[in-house]
Amino acid sequence: MQEMQALKVNSYLSAGEIANLLNNVEYILMASPSMMADELPIHFTTILNTADLIPEEVKPLILEKFCRELGITATSHVLSNRERIAFALTTQETPMPKHIVDDAEANTIPWTLLHIIDFLGDSEEFKEAQDGLSGWSYSYN
């Protein structure tokens, strides 16, 4: 596997730019190599364009729907919760979503509260992530 360079963050979207970006976005899917590859090879993050509380009994149904549609055959270590998401401008065409877990970082860059489903998984559909690459795609309404 060839060594890949991390994307350089040029800046972050402002609160207004985030709101504009998310207009007509249904969800954002991110896939990257798993840090626990011996368990499952891909780290998935699905960012739903909502800050609404999702009932606990509905969360597994949403995950099942994504797995079925994306050919994800196994999952573990599932987090389904509202979290802080910032959007970084890089050399890529679309802004890169960034899950903000550090309170100090959250005080320095604009973010919005969105529901994420974060988990480890496996899928033949995401060969790039299995080969060491990370990426994201936006799905629009």
Establish if 79 belongs to a structural domain. yes
In a domain, residue 5? The reply is no
- For 78-128, write each residue's pLDDT tens digit: 999 999 999 999 999 999 999 999 999 999 999 999 999 999 999 999 989
Number of domains in the chain: 1
Q: Is residue 18 part of a domain?
A: yes
Model confidence pTM above 0.85: yes
Find the domain containing 63 and state its range.
Answer: 11-140
43-62 pLDDT per residue, tens: 999 999 999 999 999 999 99
pLDDT band at 33 (very low <50, low <70, confident <90, very high): very high
Residue 120: closest CA among 46, 26, 28, 27: 46
pLDDT computed for residue 4 by the predictor: 57
- Flag whether 100 is in a domain: yes
Residue 94 located in a structural domain: yes
